[in-house]
Structure 1
Amino acid sequence: MFEAILLGMGAGLISSFLTGPVFFSMIKTSIEKGFKAGFSLAIGVIFSDVILIGIVLFGSQFLEYQESFDKYVGFIGGAFLFAVGLYYLFATVAINYDNNTLQKVSKRGYLIKGFLMCILTPSTLMFWIIVSSIISVKLNNRLDEKLFCFFIAMGTQLTIDGLKSYYSSKLRYRIKESALKTLNKVAGVIIILFALWLVFKTYNQFY
């Protein structure tokens, strides 16, 4: 169970920085429209992730586990995450700070926006397919532990997204694009290190 908690927290942490346009849209929305708008967008992302996880998790129950899955998951997953990390290192960040007046917002509208932005991003589905495969291998394909692990992942992700929205709205006059660029690079380095660790561990296991 402890391993399920660690895996869930790791997946939630990476996912909260992995959503690309959603990540910066959440910060941008919080700066321009306030915490409620940004957090509503975050909840929409969670709803989307829950649906994608359900599709991946219960769809995988129809696949018969083979030991060779470990190798494919390790190398393919590591390569995918490595590519994502490189993208974050070199991606540009642009935020419009002109709208500095907080207005009444439609929380439902931002919830739908977050849901659609996430569920229509192919990389999100690919991420959860890889995470589900890794979790299945590490937790011996036990459904109860996998469900608990994903529950922890969603809780971690929502907590981090909530903090991002809160502090973005509170520090809206101090957050600069240069700081977001730095955060982008830090996220890229973290993802790359995790990818290299995954490939290294897989290589040692099979070779």
Structure 2
Amino acid sequence: MLLAIFSGIIVGLVLSLLTGPTFFSLLKISISRGFKSGVYFSAGVFLSDVIYIVLAVVFSLLIGFEEQYRQIIYIIGGTFLVGIGSYYIFKKVKISNEPTKALKNTAYFFKGFLMCMLNPMMLFYWITISTKFTESYTHPELLGFLAATSLTILSSDIGKSYFVSKYRSYINTRHIMWLNKTAGVVIVGYAVFRLLIPVILKHV
């Protein structure tokens, strides 16, 4: 169980480096509305992650007994992750410091929740991760892994909100660009060496 939790923390740290729409929304909210509003937004993102994780675990357990389905998911998921990683390596970064519209903190919570829930690619992302680890972990270990991953992401988002609200004048495009490249390289490496190559070797 400890190994599963440690692995979940590592995966969570990698995922927390991604700078998609939710990251830039968190950035803008923390800059213009402060740390507390950023925490509410992060909590909404966390709730959407929990829902998608539950759906992903159910899906992976239902098809877990069929090796052929597992390999198909590895190929599709690995290719998807390579695309995502490549996108982050080469994407251009633009930081907007324009203030966000003032909302109640509960509204920021729902904004973070809906921003992730309305992105179906997040579900496929979690399915790919959970399916990979169902063969390595028991059911309690898998839940521990996914719980550690999601809680690490939440903790990281809260930390980002605090850091950005306190040191916003020091954050520039170059910093975000290197975060993107680092996360992109790690994701591509994971997809190639943990998902795609094992499937290819089984058929050589």
What's 2:161 paired with? 165
75-84 or 1-10, which deviates more: 1-10
Q: State the shift of 1:97 in Å.
A: 2.2
Partner amino acid, structure 2, of 1:136: T
What's 2:42 paired with? 42
Distance 1:50-1:19 versus aligned 2 partners, 3 A rule: farther
What's 2:72 paired with? 72
What's 2:179 paired with? 183
Partner amino acid, structure 1, of 2:31: I
Figure out how many residues of one structure are paired with residues of the other and give that number: 203
Q: Does 1:56 align with 2:41?
A: no
What's 1:146 paired with? 142
In the alignment, structure 2 segments of 5+ residues that lack a partner are: none
Work out the percentage of aligned pairs sharing the same amino acid: 36
Q: State the shift of 1:166 in Å.
A: 1.2
74-83 or 117-126, which deviates more: 74-83
Over the residues paired in the alignment, what is the CA RMSD in angstroms? 2.4
Q: State the shift of 1:165 in Å.
A: 1.2
How far, CA to CA, are the matches of 1:204 and 1:2 in structure 2? 29
Partner amino acid, structure 1, of 2:192: L
Q: State the shift of 1:129 in Å.
A: 0.9
Contact 1:19 1:118 in 2 (8 A): no
Contact 2:22 2:112 in 1 (8 A): yes
Q: State the shift of 1:64 in Å.
A: 5.3
How far, CA to CA, are the matches of 1:21 and 1:88 in structure 2? 12
How far, CA to CA, are the matches of 1:183 and 1:145 in structure 2? 30
How far, CA to CA, are the matches of 1:103 and 1:82 in structure 2? 35
Please point out which of 167, 183, 200 is paired with 2:197: 200
